[in-house]
Amino acid sequence: MAAPSPSRPQKISIRNEEWDRRLHEVPISKNDLNRLIMDYLVVQGYKSAAEEFCHEANLSAPVDFDSIESRMNIRDALHRGDVEDAIARVNDLNPEILDTNPALYFHLQQQRLIEYIREGRISEALQFAQDELAPRGEESPEFLTELERTMALLAFDALPSAPPGIAELLSPAQRMKTAGEVNAAILESLGQPKDVKLVGVLKLLEWGEKELSDRAEYPHLHL
């Protein structure tokens, strides 16, 4: 005879009024909130907003605001597909960023190949792939897979006919992905956090809600 399964503990119920009271009893530092906002503005590159908020909140500048503008100029270059300009700007900022990060350099060169293909410069794309990317693909299976995926774009005459995993290389999201990787590398080189702290707080809050849901019925936040 099978043993009876243990019964789950009954959930407690927290009314809205009680929940609101408990939330308002939690001490929250305005300075900590201001720093979370400032961190978001700096990492995401909102220079003007960061400068204004720094002044209004009476905070000391966490970074050289000119470095934000440099990062955003690089981001904008990648968003418009000008990879050569982005690489030149990264090297002007700090040449060690690309020298010490082969994966980032490969992804920038991969993006450059994608832009050649997007513009229909097929001969240049083939030559560039042979000279710049093929040697790196021989050094890394990961790079080789990415190179093969990119070259597969040449097999399709029109974007709608390409499989999703290949067609996405020509989407704006691909440019944004590359720009995000470059932005993170620059922040790391400057000794700054590369991830927005507010995102981490929200993930922690989401995890806490799931844990609490196993034990209580309470008013959920809608994140």
pLDDT of residue 208: 79
For residue 24, what pLDDT is reported?
Answer: 81
Whether residue 96 lies inside any domain: the answer is yes
105 inside domain: yes
Domain assignment of residue 211, yes or no: no
Q: What distance lies between CA 151 and its chain's CA centroid?
A: 25
Q: What is the mean pLDDT of each run of 10 residues along the chain (223 residues)?
A: 58 79 82 87 87 88 84 95 97 94 96 94 95 91 93 75 83 95 92 82 81 75 62
Q: Provide the pairing of β-strand 12-13 with 216-217.
A: parallel
136 occurs within a structural domain: yes
CA distance 89 to 76: 11
From first CA to last CA, the distance across the chain in angstroms is 46
Q: Which residues pair with 41 in a beta bridge?
A: none
Q: Is residue 97 part of a domain?
A: yes
Q: What is the DSSP letter of 13?
A: E
Residues whose CB is less than 8 angstroms from the CB of residue 67 and which lie 6 or more positions away in sequence, other chains included: 93, 186, 190
Quote the pLDDT of residue 35: 87
Q: Is 92 left (phi over 0), alpha (psi -120 to 50) or beta?
A: alpha
Give the Cα separation of 66 and 25 in Å (integer).
40
Burial of 93 (0-12, 13-18, 19+ CB in 10 A): middle
Do 89 and 77 meet the contact criterion of CB atoms below 8 Å apart?
Answer: yes
> Does residue 26 lie within any of the structural domains?
no
Distance CA 120, CA 68 (A): 34
CA 63 to chain centre: 20
Total domains, the chain: 1
Decide if 107 is inside a domain.
yes
Provide the greatest CA pair distance for the chain: 75
Looking at residue 45, its pLDDT comes to: 85
220 in any annotated domain: no
pLDDT in the model for residue 161: 65
What is the structure's pLDDT at 196? 82
Residue 89: exposure state from Cβ atoms within 10 A (0-12, 13-18, ≥19):
buried
Q: Determine the pLDDT at residue 16.
A: 79
Q: In which domain, by residue range, is 103 found?
A: 80-191
